[in-house]
Chain A
Amino acid sequence: MRPLAPLTYLVRNAGKTIPLIGVIVLAVLLVCGIISLINSIPLSIRVIYSYNKEFLGVSPRGDPTQTPRIVADIKKNSPIPVERAIICRATTNQVKSIVGKWPFVVVGLGQEDMIWYLRRQLSKGLEGRMPTPGAPEALVSKPVARNLSLGIGSVLLSPDSNESYSPMPVKVVGIADTDRWLMFTSIEYQQENHSPPIDLAMIFAKDVQQQAKLDLWAEAHFKGQRAQLWAYHQIEKNTQEMFATLYQILNVVIGTLALVITIMMGMLMNIYQSQRLVEFGLLQAIGYTKKQLLRRVLIESVVVVIAGWIIGMVVGYGLLILAQKLMMEPKSFALNPADPTAFAYTIPIPFAILVVAIATVVLRFRSFDPVGIVERRLV
């Protein structure tokens, strides 16, 4: 290692270098952690309600007898082939998220429809059995079971619960092996025990990739008519609108945080370089140019900042994986440890720190007099 190579100083003064890198690591960690956790909320919405990507939900407004007419209308006029239309009933339940409870639908399906629908929702198998028609029995998917801590025999709906009400305790008899969030009972049970007595329709495109096209067509087709639609793109749109303001506030918070970190780091870098005035004075006195010294200091700063940023991202990724495994996954909470937005938010940090560090060093070097150092006037 050359004596005046930037790495020589950094490695041999690890006691000074590591805290500097540590501060940048913490800053990056803080920013990517906050963004990842905030992003986990809309991500949870997308994950929990992703079952709706598979079908278009339709219910009549005002006249509950109109469901068959609406289904016939869709089958006749749909621009893309419809594979299946399932008539179902629904009641509400709740699931847990990191920001509280969210509504979730318990779908009442016929036995044959339930089997077909499970396949459509990518179920690879079933622990337990299907609910018996008319019996107070339920089937849930694995994420729901984890989220609500349910096993075979657990109660999903009960007469004592305001949010998960059913006149009889509805017990889980089966757990489907799919990543989609699902809750079912038999349609017969809901017809006998739940209100309102409205038949809903689930319309499935033949090609899943074209489901969104069917959804958009139905929205335009039934505009102003007495039909209510539930489509995944509505969830996406509502989520984006709901979080737009939050992200604006978040941008201000992260911006302020980045500014504070930058000013703090700029001051730290300045102190760090000030401690080396004797070194700079000596080197300039014996013949090193200001440009050479400046270049060396800048390379050192770049190495420190980039190292801090990279380590921060790696440690951040590692900690987010840990948080996902230990805190989120057991409750099926969604978190993306490799969230590109979260890491993109950290990019301004090293640049801002570098700009401040470089500016302070350049200003210092402009008025730097090596004679003052070797004469001990400035130390």
Chain B
Amino acid sequence: MIRARSASLVYQDHGRDVFACRDIDLEVRENEFLGILGPSGSGKSSLLYLLSGLKTPTSGDITLGDRSLASMSDEERSRLRLSEFGFVFQQPYLLGYLSALENIVIADPHGSNPKAEASQMLARLGMAEKAHRQPHELSGGERQRVCVARALLGSPKVIFADEPTAALDHVNGAAVVELLNTLRGNGSLVMVTHDESMLGAADRIVRLADGVLVQALG
């Protein structure tokens, strides 16, 4: 479904080329849970940004079906992210002036009834009674669950999770991963982490070191 072909991402650091990712060949298959594992600074987040269209490769290509993400305009990539992808980031970013429910709804502004869907999602996450609470009234784990609900709204084709457990304790982290995996339906889940124990349910795991794919499991 999403395929990286010799994709590289190079940053400039004081006039010197630094490879965040180098010649990555990888496919995200339909309905799979793909884990991207690696130590800090190995380029796993950069790979996730490339696969999700948040960054464009310096060389090589990323395609979704037969569409090249690099050849799309910034605006087309944004629309693609909103309609086809869901995101969970390291930090449970929520808009402080919106309720939990509204923070979920913003992920699917063109849906037929995003509010009802968001309410159902919160109920499935065990947070129905907290739908109208503001982010500052929620714990860290609850905020990340709202982020999970936001990522799942509209049944995206792929959910990208960038170290979604980084700001949580192990129990809450594991619960978040389980929710992502069980509620993703037919969507694929691409999860970046440095904690291998979080990838127990992954269909496939790839390892990165210094921006290079070093191992694929499963």
Interface residues of chain A, those whose CB is within 8 Å of chain B, are: 3-4, 8-9, 12-13, 278-279, 282-291, 370-371, 374-376
Kindly report which residue of chain B lies nearest to residue A287, judged by CB atoms.
B82
Given the known interface contacts A8-B97, A374-B162, A376-B91, the answer about A286 and B55 at a Cβ–Cβ threshold of 8 Å is: no
Q: Which B residues are in CB contact (< 8 Å) with A3? A: 95, 98, 102-103, 105-106
Chain A facing B: main interface SS:
helix
Q: Which of B51-78 contact A (CB under 8 A)?
A: 54-55, 74-75, 78
A91 to B69, CA, bound (A): 92
* Contact sample, A vs B, 25 pairs, CB 8 Å cutoff: A3-B105, A4-B109, A8-B98, A13-B97, A279-B95, A282-B89, A282-B95, A285-B54, A285-B87, A286-B81, A286-B82, A286-B86, A286-B87, A286-B107, A286-B150, A287-B78, A287-B80, A287-B81, A287-B82, A287-B107, A288-B78, A290-B74, A374-B89, A375-B90, A376-B91
Residue pair B75, A290 in contact (C-beta under 8 Å)? yes
* B19 interface residue (CB < 8 Å to A): no
A279 to B89, CA, bound (A): 13
Q: Total number of A-B contacts with CB less than 8 angstroms? A: 63
Residue pair A289, B78 in contact (C-beta under 8 Å)? yes
Residue pair A12, B83 in contact (C-beta under 8 Å)? no
Q: Which B residues are in CB contact (< 8 Å) with A283? A: 106
A290 to B76, CA, bound (A): 11
A12 to B135, CA, bound (A): 14
Please give 14 more A-B residue pairs, beta carbons under 8 A apart, in addition to A289-B74, A291-B75.
A3-B106, A282-B89, A285-B81, A285-B89, A286-B87, A288-B78, A289-B78, A290-B74, A290-B75, A371-B49, A371-B54, A371-B55, A374-B162, A375-B45
Q: Which A residues are in CB contact (< 8 Å) with B86? A: 286
* B33 interface residue (CB < 8 Å to A): no
A291 to B54, CA, bound (A): 16
A284 to B102, CA, bound (A): 17
Return B167 CB to nearest CB of chain A, in Å.
10
Given the known interface contacts A3-B106, A283-B106, the answer about A374 and B75 at a Cβ–Cβ threshold of 8 Å is: no
Which 10 A-B pairs rank lowest in CB-CB distance, beginning with the nearest? Answer: A287-B82, A287-B81, A3-B102, A12-B97, A289-B78, A374-B89, A282-B93, A289-B75, A3-B98, A287-B78
Q: Which B residues are in CB contact (< 8 Å) with A9? A: 97
Return B107 CB to nearest CB of chain A, in Å.
6
Kindly report which residue of chain A lies nearest to residue B54, judged by CB atoms.
A371
A370 to B49, CA, bound (A): 11
Q: Which B residues are in CB contact (< 8 Å) with A282? A: 89, 93, 95
A371 to B105, CA, bound (A): 22
Return B20 CB to nearest CB of chain A, in Å.
11
Kindly report which residue of chain B lies nearest to residue A291, judged by CB atoms.
B75
Kindly report which residue of chain A lies nearest to residue B94, judged by CB atoms.
A282
Kindly report which residue of chain A lies nearest to residue B102, judged by CB atoms.
A3
Kindly report which residue of chain A lies nearest to residue B46, judged by CB atoms.
A371
Q: Which B residues are in CB contact (< 8 Å) with A375? A: 45, 90
